[in-house]
Amino acid sequence: MSYTKDVKNEILNIKRSRTEYIAELSAFILNNTIINNDFSIATENINIARRYNQLIKELYNTIPKITIRRKYNFNKNNFYILDYIDKKNILLDLGIFNKNIVSDYIIDNIDEKKAYISGVFMAVGSINDPKKSRYHLEFLIKNKENAYFFNDLLNEFNLNSKVISRTKNYMVYIKESEKISDFLKLIKAYNSVLYFENIRVYRDQVNMTNRLNNCEQANVEKTINTANRQLKYIDTIYKYDAVNLLDERTIEVMEYRRKYPESSLVELSEIISLETDKSITKSGLNHKFRKIKDLALKLDGGLK
pLDDT for 36-46, tens place per residue? 888 888 888 88
The CB-based long-range contact list for 257-264 (8 Å cut-off, 24+ gap) reads: 257/227, 257/230, 257/231, 257/289, 258/231, 258/234, 261/227, 261/228, 261/231, 262/223, 262/224, 262/227, 263/223, 263/227, 264/223
Tell whether the model's pLDDT for residue 288 goes beyond 80. yes
Residue 112 within a domain: yes
Q: How far apart are CA 294 and CA 242, in angstroms?
A: 12
Residue 15 within a domain: yes
Residue 276 within a domain: yes
Predicted confidence (pLDDT) per residue in 103-113, tens digit:
888 999 999 99
Tell whether the model's pLDDT for residue 215 goes beyond 80. no
Final residue of a domain: which of 188, 206, 228? 188
Final residue of a domain: which of 169, 188, 207? 188
Name every residue whose Cβ is closer than 8 Å to that of residue 282 and which is 6 or more positions away in sequence.
Answer: 265, 266, 269
Q: Is 225 exposed, middle or buried (0-12, 13-18, 19+ CB in 10 A)?
A: exposed
Predicted confidence (pLDDT) per residue in 237-260, tens digit:
888 888 888 888 888 888 888 888
Name every residue whose Cβ is closer than 8 Å to that of residue 36 and which is 6 or more positions away in sequence.
Answer: none
Give me the number of domains the chain comprises: 2
Tell whether the model's pLDDT for residue 225 goes beyond 90. no
Residue 146 within a domain: yes
Give me the pLDDT at residue 240, please: 85
Cβ of 19: how many Cβ atoms within 10 Å? Answer: 16
Residue 198 within a domain: no
Percent of the chain with pLDDT over 90: 33
Query: pLDDT band at residue 293, thresholds of 50, 70 and 90?
Result: confident
Give me the pLDDT at residue 296, please: 83
Residues 146, 25 within the same domain: yes
Give me the pLDDT at residue 270, please: 87
Query: pLDDT band at residue 116, thresholds of 50, 70 and 90?
Result: very high
Tell whether the model's pLDDT for residue 205 goes beyond 80. no
Note down the domain range covering 275: 216-299
Tell whether the model's pLDDT for residue 49 goes beyond 70. yes
Cβ of 302: how many Cβ atoms within 10 Å? Answer: 6
Tell whether the model's pLDDT for residue 71 goes beyond 70. no
Q: Is 147 exposed, middle or buried (0-12, 13-18, 19+ CB in 10 A)?
A: buried
Give me the pLDDT at residue 167, please: 85
What b/e readout covers 120-131, taking b as 16+ CB neighbours within 10 angstroms?
bbbbbbbbbebe
